[in-house]
Amino acid sequence: MSWLRAAAQFFEKKIGWHRLGILLSITIIVVAGVVLYRKLHDINFAKVLMAMATVEYRDVAVAALFVAAGYFTLTFYDLFAVRTIGRKDIPYRVAALAGFTSYSVGHNVGASVFTGGAVRYRIYSGWGMDAVDVAKVCFVAGLTFWLGNATVLGLGFIIHPEAAAAIDQLPEWFNRALGIVALIVLIGYVAWVWRTPRVVGRDNWQVQLPGGQLTLLQIAIGIVDLGCCALAMYMLVPNEPYLDFVTVAVIFVSATLLGFASHSPGGLGVFDAAMLIALWQYDKEQLLAGLLIFRLLYYIIPFALALATLGIRELVLSLSRRRDVRGA
């Protein structure tokens, strides 16, 4: 452990972890750009538009319902987080507003840690929360997200390692081993927080991690969120050839995480390239049509609703302040 700590300190001093993150993001985006060019340079966009027009309205409606359910689940990320840091006075409607708007903006603008955090601060500051409190909320919400992802991908890699291999190009046995390791680590974490209250951070930035039972609740929230999103995507992929839901879900979650790692707005280009590579069985035009409809449902419409909601909120607050000044 001392050797690993020394190596990490040397790397941070000489190179810097932030530079590694920037290099990784650029690499992912460049590779995705090359893949998209190779996949789409000969595509017939007239066929894409025709494929979009022929998608059954029922499938689009069901996908929209799953997207709505996913965003509804996202509101519990924030509710769980504010309760975890001890703010039981904040009502669900405020946590729901912060959760929906922050994730909608963060998904589309990119760099969600900063953009989503800024939206959260604007909302929660009205309830007496400072920047440290908002950072704690972001940390707990992010922990819920990653616990859900670790569970879904761990199980998916074990059940369908070939689906993961379509993206990471690794042997199936290696992907299955990764899934087993992920679940072992997850079980170890749950056991670790179950035994005694655990605190992370120092000085005034300390967060008591949820206990074992609450961690299971975190995992359940994350699984429901990812499951709803994957079901929405599953409704929009072509019907032929047939692929089972778990296979599409593993590919979808893996592609989503790649887009998240790239910090590209909405995972634009990266998510799409990963889906086009992994779901090679489908007709390119039909698959691209499904991806475009998914972007409309999951990114563009919620983003527009979030901006409208934030704008109306700011207008109401401004009018309220003016009335207070006139009254004074």
Q: What is the pLDDT of residues 68-114, one digit of tens each?
A: 999 999 999 999 999 988 888 899 999 999 999 998 888 787 667 77
How far is 181 from 155, CA to CA, in rounded Å? 11
The confidence score (pLDDT) of residue 12 equals 55
3-state class of 89 per DSSP?
coil
**Mean per-residue pLDDT over the chain, rounded:** 82
The confidence score (pLDDT) of residue 17 equals 46
Compute CA distances 134 → 62, 69, 178, whole Å.
Answer: 34, 25, 33
b/e sequence 133-170, b meaning 16+ C-beta within 10 Å:
bbbbbbbbbebbbebbbbbbbbbbbbebbebbbbbeee
Say which residues have a Cβ less than 8 Å from residue 49's Cβ, sequence separation at least 6: 289
Check pLDDT > 90 for residue 230: yes
The confidence score (pLDDT) of residue 5 equals 54
The confidence score (pLDDT) of residue 168 equals 76
For the chain, the C-alpha Rg in angstroms (whole number) is 21
Q: Can you give the pTM of this predicted structure?
A: 0.83
Give helix then strand counts, H and E, for the chain.
14, 2
| Identity at 280, one-letter amino acid code | W
The confidence score (pLDDT) of residue 64 equals 95
**What does the pLDDT average to over 201-212?**
80
The confidence score (pLDDT) of residue 328 equals 65
Compute CA distances 255 → 54, 158, 201, 260, whole Å.
Answer: 25, 17, 31, 9
Q: What is the pLDDT of residues 257-284, one digit of tens each?
A: 877 776 666 667 778 888 888 888 888 8
Check pLDDT > 80 for residue 23: no
Check pLDDT > 60 for residue 25: no
The confidence score (pLDDT) of residue 225 equals 92
**What does the pLDDT average to over 16-40?**
56
How far is 69 from 109, CA to CA, in rounded Å? 22
- Higher pLDDT: 34 or 286? It is 286
Check pLDDT > 80 for residue 61: yes
